[in-house]
Amino acid sequence: MSQPVITKALIAALKGEFALDWQGIHGAGHWARVRHNGLQLSPTTGAVPHVVELFAVLHDVKRRHDGFDPIHGERAAEFALSLRGTLLHLDNRDFDLLVAACTGHSSGSTSGDPTVLTCWDADRLDLGRVGVVPKATRLCTSAARDPRIIAAALARSRQRSLRETTFFSSCEAHPRKVTSTLHQE
């Protein structure tokens, strides 16, 4: 997929559905960091990058509040289904991966398909935004358990870097462009 998967039309649909604070802990800044984390992990984990990108913007879009909301992932998967063929263009396998990632992302599971696991790790690596340091034992992939990856993700989440304005404009201009720090010395 060389075309951007996060388009202006998709962003408009997300804004229309998202009931929480766009700048809040589950808002666009979080989605930007999840996308960054996931795309950084993908080359090592073998995840499907466009599924990771879509997970980043969809997984929390149907939250009803920032607290305990155990079925928000299922609602996100249902919302993704409603966009299939119009704003989301995935083959059956990739769509099934997206649904599995959205549905199970809050379960705490650490086993499954590499794309799904990369999505979950990308989300868990942004826990610093709520004062929680990601624990390597709760991460799914060896790439995410790398102390350098955890430290970099924690710094991003604490600084609340990757704001939505930069994020959304970069999604269309440079799809899947992320500078990897996985193998930097």
Residue 148: CATH number of its domain: 1.10.3210.10
The dihedral built from the CA positions of residue 89, 168, 63 and 73, taken in this order, carries a sign that is positive
pLDDT of residue 171: 59
How distant, in Å, are the alpha carbons of 48, 100, 178 from that of 52?
A: 6, 12, 13
Domain assignment present for residue 2? The answer is no
Contact criterion met (CB below 8 Å) for 120 and 45: no
Domain assignment present for residue 50? The answer is yes
Domain assignment present for residue 153? The answer is yes
Please give the residue range of the domain that contains residue 109: 8-173
Token couple for 68: 């305990």
Q: What's the pLDDT band for 182 if we cut at 50, 70, 90?
A: very low
Q: What's the pLDDT band for 184 if we cut at 50, 70, 90?
A: very low
Domain count of the fold of the chain: 1
Domain assignment present for residue 183? The answer is no
* Measured distance CA(178)–CA(42) in Å, rounded: 10
Per-chain mean pLDDT for the chain:
88
Mean pLDDT lowest among 79-83, 108-112, 115-119: 108-112
Token couple for 22: 């766009």
Domain assignment present for residue 97? The answer is yes
The dihedral built from the CA positions of residue 18, 179, 174 and 102, taken in this order, carries a sign that is negative
Please provide residue 84's backbone torsions phi and psi, each rounded to the nearest 5 degrees: -65, 130
Of residues 116 and 170, the one with the higher pLDDT is 116
Domain assignment present for residue 1? The answer is no
Long-range contacts of 3-6 (CB under 8 A, 24+ apart): 3/175, 4/171, 4/172, 4/175, 5/50, 5/53, 5/54, 5/88, 5/89, 5/171, 5/175, 6/35, 6/53, 6/54, 6/57, 6/168, 6/171, 6/172, 6/175
pLDDT of residue 159: 84
The pTM of this model reads 0.88
Please provide residue 111's backbone torsions phi and psi, each rounded to the nearest 5 degrees: -130, 150
pLDDT of residue 54: 98
Contact criterion met (CB below 8 Å) for 56 and 34: yes
Q: What's the pLDDT band for 107 if we cut at 50, 70, 90?
A: confident
Mean pLDDT lowest among 92-101, 118-127, 161-170: 161-170
